[in-house]
Structure 1
Amino acid sequence: MFSKTCEYGIRAMIFISQKSSEGVKVGVKEVSKGIDSPEHFIAKILQDLGRKNLVMSFKGPNGGFFIEKDSTVTLADIVKAIDGDKLFNNCGLGLGYCSEERPCPIHHDFKKIRNDISLMLHSSKLSEFSELLKENLTYLKLF
């Protein structure tokens, strides 16, 4: 459903959000290790998300990536920043002409699923995941 880049981006942002809630800035190495992903790939993703103002960073010995406490970043924001909005609009079969007037064979069923996914992504704020991770009710990396 998501590109590999988007999967890593979502996982990295959730990890950074959790650390930020503890008052900690994290470097690329720690993010990479924390979500079990390639360091160079995460660095590029975070640089791009930083340019789009979804994550903040400071350079230097006390630097790293962080998300501000009052951030309202949602999973949808991350998906749109990395993969664009095709998940929210495109045909389930990838047809360019699919519409209400000219539906593809799965249009109506896929539209319901797409709307449910869209609702979930738009209503899921990064800040909501910190407590679940802290209590080990959810995981970003299996040991």
Structure 2
Amino acid sequence: MKKTIVIIDDDEAILRSLKRLLGTNNHVVCFSDPLSAIEFAQQNPISLVICDLLMPAISGFAVLEDIKLLQPHCSRLLITGYAELESSKNALTNNIANMITAKPWDNFELTMLVEILIENSHLKINQGLSNVNSY
């Protein structure tokens, strides 16, 4: 059974690229509108959310916090440009994101990271540890 990955980015080229990269073994749903992604998370189980930090309507931090409340077992990956990496570290400290990666990404490293985060999500579900911050 394919795992559901939600990707949120205001750049359509990024969405297409990530869907092509991750869509072979996963069900990938892409959103350029973060509020639509949150709405999707209210109705559908998600294994992983990959979210851009800087978007026009709402910050990636806020999106990940909302999805965390809806689905605490869901892994959350913040993806951002190199310039925002330092300011994004707070997201890890506050458990808003489980991991942070930079744009541009290395395809092999990103696919390995995605596999680890999806496995972590399913371990939390299977062990009933939705409130545990294991990575």
TM-score tier by shorter-chain length is under 0.3
Structure having the larger proportion of residues in helix: 1
Larger strand share, 1 or 2: 2
Higher RCO, Cα 8 Å, sep 6+: 1
Could you tell me the TM-score, scaled by structure 1's length?
Answer: 0.27
TM-score by length of 2: 0.28
Larger radius of gyration between Structure 1 and Structure 2? 1
